[in-house]
Every structure is written in structure tokens, then in C-alpha cells.
Structure 1
Amino acid sequence: MISTTKLKSVDFYRKIPRDLTEASLSGAGLSIIAALSMMFLFGMELSSYLSVSTSTSVIVDKSSDGEFLRIDFNISFPALSCEFASVDVSDVLGTNRLNITKTVRKFSIDPNLKPTGFEFHAGPLPTVNNHGDEVEEEYSEGSVSLNSGNFDRYSHQHSILVVNFYAPWCPWTNRLKPSWERTSRIMRQRYDPEMDGRILLGKVDCTEEVELCRRHHIQGYPSIRIFRKGSDIKDNHGHHDHESYYGERDSESLVMAMEALVSTLPRESHTLKLEDKSDQTVDAIKRPAPLTSGCRIEGFVRVKRVPGNLIISAHSGAHSFDASLMNVSHFISHFSFGKKLTPHMMSELKRLTPHLGSSYDRLTGQSYITDHGDSNANVTIEHYLQIVKTELVSRKYSQEFKVFEEYEYTAHSSLVQSIDIPIAKFHFEPSPMQVLVTEDPKSFSHFITNVCAIIGGVFTVAGILDSILHNAIRMVKKVELGKQF
């Protein structure tokens, strides 16, 4: 057994009897200052331990998301109709995808960017196989010429008014003209406007009746609209509610379509019996016309990770457009690459790397508006985007864990005069490099060591200062006593 006396001999912290010690005001002051210093330095060390330390490096992109890149967008076009608005993508490898609809949604909006109805389901843009009659022949005018003065009167006189909005310079209009007039004559013979009045075919020259065509949101020629009596104007802020015809344009197909429209009305004794093949009729050849001239386009597309273009423009395989009247002004609510970050992920990104994330959605809230006029006609708006991937990695337990990744980009925009149909073009170019941000957690043992160093260091320094101060006071007292004697 080791005796108590021998055990005490190894005591590093030998005690001085309390009655041999003396308290002083200077020592009390230094003790208070030392305690406050310890608390302050401990708080600083704890804050440093809890804060995130990161290191940034630039490496060759080793993306795990494959060869494709996702683009999310929400863009409003106050002067581009949903009827013809098309989302196209292309890249330097020769890939071309036109009128993407599977992952894209369209909503009609007014000039103030407010929605005016439900989602616009336009379906695929039409590709007309039969356009005009095979044999051209002399024809007489069969359709009624409409203008701002008589349009409303005719639409209220007839149960169905089918109107061809055209432009004389349009080649598609000239190809449609023979079959349209022939169809008009046939329908007049079968349904005399004065005796029957259920259907009438008319036409509007949009180069002469500009305001009338604008009122019905005509942007492509020829546009065939179907107006039904009593439903032209609904109680929806005065917006026109009608339908567009997208079927074939030869006289036989047009007559079948017109007959199908009449068949939905009360039949009279002289109404002709439709052929069986007309039962496929109306829904396949007509769809709701846009309520307004604006469109909000939202959704996403997947593109290859190579330089390419996302293009939004008016597109149709069976219509012509007046480039001087087209306007692709737009407001961007969202435009980002890669997976869409949730608000929680964005806040986490800001916490870990405050200098990142500011370019994740750089175009948000930006508007690119051109006033309609001669000086601003045929204006294409182009955006040049440089994309860099940023990957955040956490290093714990000697292993690396990927927290999340995001794509940041720079954007430069310009307005370009063009003789072609104006477009909104987003040219993107992914960088072959990526930014790697590594989170380096601090060791707990390092934190404890620093805390001990703080306590011991402050205690030692305070003891040295107290000793110096105490000896200085003693010397002063000795000097004063020496002077007295």
C-alpha cells in the first residue's frame, strides 16, 4: 500500500495555507479582467468552431448528371399569341427540336401580364397536306367581305360565322382562296343565308382592317375563326371566346367541317345528311382560339451539355407572319439550369457559401420591352449565357459527401434588327470547368486544445501582471518609508 504522505509528494498543485495568503484590490481587479477575457476569447473560439470553413477550387467538370442539362423557365410575352408561340431548341451537334409541348405549358395573358383564362391547349401546330384545289379554275366570290362596320351585324344574324382572316401578300392565303370561295358557294347553296341563316362564310383583309384583326388577336395568315352566335363575348372582361380551324384546306375538307358545325344546330328539313367520315369532325379540326394576344410560357426542356439555343418565336407550317407586326418583348419570372433549388436549399447555400447563389437565377425579374413602331419593327432579343457548374462537398469522418449542386451563369442581352420573324433567343454555353466548394469541418480536439490554451494563457498572463503590479506597489511603499527616516 502506498502511504498518503508519498501520494501527496507527487502533487503538482501544492496549496499555500489560506492564512498565509493576502487578498488585494489590484489582484481582484486583475481577476475580474482575466475572467471577462476568458469568456470573450471562449466565445470567439466557439463561434469559429461552429462556423463553416470552405475551400474553393476549379476542376474539370466531372458531372454525374450525364450528358443532358435541364433548363427551367417562366417567361411572359405580352404581344405573342399562344396560338403560334413555339419553344424550339438546337445545338452545335445538329440537334433541332421544334415546338416542344410535352414539358411546356402556355397561358393566355393580357398586356399587364395577368392571366385571362385556363391553360391554353393548342396541340401541335398544323401541317397542312391539302391546301387549295388540285385544279385551278375560274371562281366567283362566294364569301362575304367583312369589316369593322358590318362584322358584329353578321355575327349576330347567323348562328355560325366562319371567317378567313387573310393578307393578300401571303402565299398560304392565295393557295386557300380558290377552295375557300368554292366552299362558300357550296354552303350558300345548301344553307341560304336569307332562308336558313345557320352558317355564313366571310373574309377579312387584315391589311385593310388592321384594328379588327388586332381585336381578334390575329397574328398568322390565314387564320380561320369560328364564331357562334351568343358566345362571341363572354362575361370575362370583354374577351372574345371563339375557336380556330386547323384542318385541311381543300374544298372537300372544308365543306365537311362546315357541315359538321351545322350538325350541332337544330336540323331543318333540308339539312343534308353527313357522311360517316365526318363524325371524326369538329374536335379534331378546331381548338379554342387564344383569348388575348399575350402568352405566358413555363416549363422545362432537356438539352445536351454543349453550346446551343433555346428559341421562342411564332412558328407554323401553314401560316405566314408579318414580321413588322411581331413583337417578342418579354418579362422573365424564372430562368435557371439544372435541378430547381428549393427555398431551403437556397438558404443552405447562402449559409455555407455567401458569395455563391447570386447568379443562380440572374435573369429573374428582368424585362426586355420594345415599343411597337417603325423604328422598333423586326427586333430580335438575344441573351448570351455562360454557364458554370458549382458543386458543394462536405468532408466528414475522412470521407466526402456531395451536399448539392447548382448552375450559375452570366447573362448579356442585346436587341438586334432583323429582316426575319423576330425571336427571343437564349444562347447558352456550358463551361468545361466546374467550381468545387469543399466544406472543411473543424476538429473538436482542436477546439478543446484552444480552450485550454485560452484559460491557461489568460491565467498565466494575469498572474504575471499581478506579480509585477504587487512588486511595484511594494517598492513604492519602501521608497516612501525611506524618505520618512
Structure 2
Amino acid sequence: MVSATRIKSVDFYRKIPRDLTEASLSGAGLSIVAALAMVFLFGMELSSYLAVTTDTSVIVDKSSDGDFLRIDFNVSFPALSCEFASVDVSDVLGTNRLNLTKTIKKIPIDSHLRATGEEFHSSTGLHLINHGDEDHENSSYAAIPLTGATFEQFSHHFPILVVNFYAPWCYWSNRLKPSWEKAAEIIRERFDPEDDGRVLLGNVDCTQEPTLCKRLHIQGYPSIRIFRKGSDLKEDHGHHEHESYYGDRDTESLVKMVEGLLVPIKKEDHKLALDGKSHNAASIIKKAPLSGGCRIEGYVRAKKVPGEIVISAHSGAHSFDASRMNMSHYVSHLSFGRMIDERLLTDMKRLLPYLGLSHDRLNEKWFVNQGQFAANVTIEHYLQIVKTEVVSRRFGQEHSLIDEYEYTAHSNVAHGYYYPVAKFKFQLSPMQVLISENPKSFSHFITNVCAIIGGVFTVAGILDSIFQSTVRMVKKVELGKNI
């Protein structure tokens, strides 16, 4: 067996007997300073070890989220009715999707962006509406022309007032006119206004009565509105809630619609007996928007190629007055890619302060067209999108912590000859920003700690030796002078 003496011979740290050493005040002070320096430098090294360091690089986009990009948005239009609001998506590859509804919600709002009703569901198949083949030349004028003054009088007098809001220049209004006048004639013969007194059909020319049409939020022509007396009279300035008719516009359909409205209304002591088919028209009568604005929220999926989202007034059976349309809007939210948990994004901002500063460039901003040239103005947004991904390499493995799409935005207004729209043009960069999180290794941390302790201890020893040698030299000089 190896003796203890042989083992002791490899001792790197041979000891001097304590009795042969001498403590000094200078050495004690230097030891305290050295200990404090060790603690301070250890804390700095620990902080550096725990801190996250990153490398930023630009590489070709290697997206793992497929060929489609999700676009979430929440945009409010104070002057665009949900009745006609449409969301369209197109791209340079020729894809065109019109009037998306599956993932889109439309909430009526007032001029202060406050909701005024439940979600509005758009009518489908307006381009398939039957307009009949009545001869315009032979149509009589049986519907009563209404003005702002007479409208209130008739709406309070008749239990049912059905009004056609039209514009003389409108193609669809002119196409409706013969059927509407013929239906008004038939209804007048069957339900005489003076004898029966339950229903009246009227017309409002919105080019002559713009104030009335604006108050009733008429934005598309023709609009057939149904006003009921009494039961739906609101406390708010006595205005009537009303409904819209979205069915066929031939004479037979219009007459059946009116007859269906009269079913629950008694004439003196008996009810009107009608054919059961008339009830089918009620399914295409919906409550009209109580306000002229609309909040459009939801998401769409678009191919990762240059494209655009267009929000506009659209209908297959209505015309719009471009000079009166206002596409001013407020963007509550617009983002690309997957929705990121706010807590995760907050943590990432703490670790990487420059992350997430441009993924919401348009959020909470107004875009208003105003001034004397405010009519027929399209508001366009040009968005340049780039993907940003954060990758962690902790514990020898690489995994993605977060990925988001950031964008720059430039907005502009343009005058045109067509209906004004709100347009969001987007283009994705073929490159992506890669942020790599590079933590320090534990072995590197231990090595630095040892270097700190050994270095401070050695430097303190050298300083102590220099100080002691200087003291001894001074004493010798003083002794020599005394001799």
C-alpha cells in the first residue's frame, strides 16, 4: 500500500505552521477588500450568465405555417352600413373571393363606434332576385310620393307603411318601378287606404329628400323599408324602428309580402284570410340597421403572395351614390399570422426589447377623408410584411419560442371614378429575420468564477507583498540614518 508520506508528497498546497506566520492590519484590510471584490465580480458574472444574448440574422423565409397567411382585423366604419358592407380578398395569382361571411362578423355601430344592435347577417343571392317583366311604359303611379313632412304623417297614421327609397338615375330603381307601381295599384284596390286603412305603399326620391334618407340610413338604391306604427316606436326622438325587404321584386312577390304583413293586423272585428304562401315572404324581411355604421371583425386566410383586402359597399341589386359615400375608418386591430398570447409577447419583450414593436402599426388609428374633396375618396394602406422568428438553443436543443409577422404601413387617399373603398394591400418579404437566443454554457461560467477568485487572490497577495517590502525598506533606511 502507498504510505501517507508518499501521498503527502504530491500536495500542491504545503502549509506553513501558523506559529511561523504573522498577521497584519494592512493584510486584514486588503483581505476584506479582496473578498468584496470577489463577491462583486461573482455577481457580475452570474448576471452575465443568466442574461439572454441574441444574434440577429436575415435568411430566406423557411416558414413552417403553410402556404396561407392568417390576417386578423377589427375595423370600424362610421358611415358604411352593415347592410351592404363587403369584405373581398384577391391576390396576384388570380384568386378572388367576394363578400366573405364565414369568418367575418358585422356589428352595427353609431358615429361614436358604439354597438347599436346584434350581429348583422348579410342576405345572399341578391343577384338572383326576380325583377319581373312588367312594361315600364304602361306603369301607372299608384304609390304615394312622400316627403320629409308627409312621411311622419303617414307613418303615424297607417299600421303598415311600405316605402321604396330610390334614385331616378339608378338602374335597379328604374327596373323596380313598374313592378312597384303595379303592386301599389293592386294593394290599393284590395285594401283601400280610406276604407281599410291598414297599409300604404309610398315612394321617396332620395335625390329630392336627402335629409330623410340620411336619417333613415339609406345607402343603397332601391331600398324597400317597412315601418310599423306603435309597437316599435322608440323613445329616442320618436323614431320608428323598421325592417328591410330583400326578396324578389316582381309584382306578385311584392303583393304577397304586403299581404303577409297584414295577417296579424285586424280590420275592425275580423282578420284577413290569406293564402298560406304569403307567409314565406316574411323570411326575407329583416330588421334594418338602426345606425349607419358598421364594425367588421374576424379573419381571412390569404396566399403568401402579394394581394389585397378590400372593404366596400357591395350589392348585386342596388346602386350607390359615390359622391355620398365616406370610407373613413378606425383600425382597432390588424395583425398577420397566428394570434400571440399577450403574456408570451410580454415575456419576449422583456428578454428582447426590440421584438414586437411593429406588428401592430395600424392599431388604434383613425383614417379620415375630409375637406371639400372628401367625396368619392378611396383610402389605401400599403403593408410590407416580414416574418420574425425567435429560436432558443438551450440544453443543446433548438426550438422556436415565438414567430410573428411585423410590417411597415404607408397610407394614402386617392380620388377615383368608381365607388370608394378601403383597401389594404400587402406584400410579404421572401426573407425573414431570425433571432437566435444563445445562452452561455455552465462550464464557461465555472471557469470564469475560478478565474475571478484566483485572480483576485493572486493580485491581492502581490499587492500585500509589495506593501510589506516597502514598509521593511523604509524601516531599514530609518535605522541607517539613526546609526
- 1:240, CA displacement in angstroms? 4.7
With 55-64 and 230-239 compared, the bigger mean Cα shift is at 230-239
1:118 alignment partner, SS class: coil
- Take 2:239 and 2:27, find their aligned partners in 1: how far apart are those partners? 88
> Is residue 469 of structure 2 the alignment partner of residue 471 of structure 1?
yes
Residue in 2 that maps onto 1:359 = 358
CA 1:240/1:395 → structure 2, altered by over 3 Å: closer, same or farther? farther
> Is residue 317 of structure 2 the alignment partner of residue 318 of structure 1?
yes
- Take 2:395 and 2:373, find their aligned partners in 1: how far apart are those partners? 65
Residue in 2 that maps onto 1:443 = 441
- Take 1:402 and 1:355, find their aligned partners in 2: how far apart are those partners? 17
Residue in 1 that maps onto 2:15 = 15
Residue in 2 that maps onto 1:340 = 339
- Take 2:79 and 2:152, find their aligned partners in 1: how far apart are those partners? 25
TM-score by length of 2: 0.96
Residue in 2 that maps onto 1:38 = 38
With 320-329 and 118-127 compared, the bigger mean Cα shift is at 118-127
> Is residue 259 of structure 2 the alignment partner of residue 259 of structure 1?
yes
Q: Is the 8 A contact 1:133 1:251 kept in 2?
A: no
2:31 alignment partner, SS class: helix
- Where does structure 1 lack aligned partners over 5 or more consecutive residues? none
Residue in 2 that maps onto 1:192 = 192
Residue in 2 that maps onto 1:110 = 110
CA offset digits 1:144-179 (Å, max 9, x no partner): 111111211111111111111111111111111111
> Is residue 289 of structure 2 the alignment partner of residue 293 of structure 1?
no
CA 1:125/1:73 → structure 2, altered by over 3 Å: closer, same or farther? farther
With 120-129 and 349-358 compared, the bigger mean Cα shift is at 120-129
**1:458 aligned to 447, 456, 459, which one?**
456
CA 1:9/1:366 → structure 2, altered by over 3 Å: closer, same or farther? same
CA 1:48/1:239 → structure 2, altered by over 3 Å: closer, same or farther? farther
Correspondences of 1:95-174 after superposition (within 5 Å): 95-124=95-124, 126-174=126-174
CA 1:433/1:103 → structure 2, altered by over 3 Å: closer, same or farther? same
- Take 1:274 and 1:473, find their aligned partners in 2: how far apart are those partners? 124
- 1:279, CA displacement in angstroms? 3.2
- Take 1:205 and 1:364, find their aligned partners in 2: how far apart are those partners? 40
Q: Is the 8 A contact 1:172 1:318 kept in 2?
A: yes
- 1:327, CA displacement in angstroms? 0.4
% same residue = 66
- 1:233, CA displacement in angstroms? 3.6
Q: Is the 8 A contact 2:227 2:240 kept in 1?
A: no
CA 1:268/1:190 → structure 2, altered by over 3 Å: closer, same or farther? farther
Q: Is the 8 A contact 2:123 2:246 kept in 1?
A: no
- Take 1:199 and 1:469, find their aligned partners in 2: how far apart are those partners? 114
Amino acid at match of 1:215: R
- Where does structure 2 lack aligned partners over 5 or more consecutive residues? none
Residue in 1 that maps onto 2:330 = 331
- Take 2:125 and 2:80, find their aligned partners in 1: how far apart are those partners? 15
2:373 alignment partner, SS class: helix
- Take 1:361 and 1:457, find their aligned partners in 2: how far apart are those partners? 50
- Take 2:202 and 2:448, find their aligned partners in 1: how far apart are those partners? 90
- Take 1:307 and 1:164, find their aligned partners in 2: how far apart are those partners? 42
Residue in 1 that maps onto 2:220 = 220
Amino acid at match of 2:265: L
Residue in 1 that maps onto 2:369 = 370
With 67-76 and 28-37 compared, the bigger mean Cα shift is at 28-37
- Take 2:396 and 2:254, find their aligned partners in 1: how far apart are those partners? 74
- Take 1:294 and 1:321, find their aligned partners in 2: how far apart are those partners? 16
With 234-243 and 17-26 compared, the bigger mean Cα shift is at 234-243
CA 1:231/1:321 → structure 2, altered by over 3 Å: closer, same or farther? farther
Amino acid at match of 2:414: V
How many residue pairs get matched?
483
**1:422 aligned to 414, 420, 423, which one?**
420
Residue in 2 that maps onto 1:390 = 388
CA 1:97/1:406 → structure 2, altered by over 3 Å: closer, same or farther? same
CA 1:294/1:125 → structure 2, altered by over 3 Å: closer, same or farther? farther
- 1:57, CA displacement in angstroms? 1.9
Amino acid at match of 2:299: F
2:393 alignment partner, SS class: strand
- 1:302, CA displacement in angstroms? 0.5
- Backbone CA RMSD of aligned residues: 1.9
CA 1:381/1:322 → structure 2, altered by over 3 Å: closer, same or farther? same
Q: Is the 8 A contact 2:107 2:296 kept in 1?
A: yes
- 1:3, CA displacement in angstroms? 3.2
- 1:269, CA displacement in angstroms? 7.9
CA 1:91/1:81 → structure 2, altered by over 3 Å: closer, same or farther? same
Residue in 1 that maps onto 2:179 = 179
Q: Is the 8 A contact 2:243 2:288 kept in 1?
A: yes
Q: Is the 8 A contact 2:264 2:271 kept in 1?
A: no
Correspondences of 1:227-266 after superposition (within 5 Å): 227-235=227-235, 240-266=240-266
CA offset digits 1:169-204 (Å, max 9, x no partner): 111111111111111111111111112121111111
- Take 1:478 and 1:221, find their aligned partners in 2: how far apart are those partners? 115
- Take 2:356 and 2:378, find their aligned partners in 1: how far apart are those partners? 29
Residue in 2 that maps onto 1:274 = 274
- 1:128, CA displacement in angstroms? 4.3
Q: Is the 8 A contact 2:136 2:177 kept in 1?
A: no
With 432-441 and 206-215 compared, the bigger mean Cα shift is at 432-441
- Take 2:95 and 2:141, find their aligned partners in 1: how far apart are those partners? 46
CA offset digits 1:314-352 (Å, max 9, x no partner): 111111111111001011110000101111221132133
Residue in 2 that maps onto 1:88 = 88
With 53-62 and 39-48 compared, the bigger mean Cα shift is at 53-62
CA offset digits 1:393-426 (Å, max 9, x no partner): 2223433212221111110100111121110000
- 1:28, CA displacement in angstroms? 1.9
- Take 2:400 and 2:221, find their aligned partners in 1: how far apart are those partners? 54
With 422-431 and 128-137 compared, the bigger mean Cα shift is at 128-137
Q: Is the 8 A contact 1:391 1:406 kept in 2?
A: yes
Residue in 2 that maps onto 1:408 = 406
Correspondences of 1:43-58 after superposition (within 5 Å): 43-58=43-58
2:118 alignment partner, SS class: strand
Amino acid at match of 1:16: I
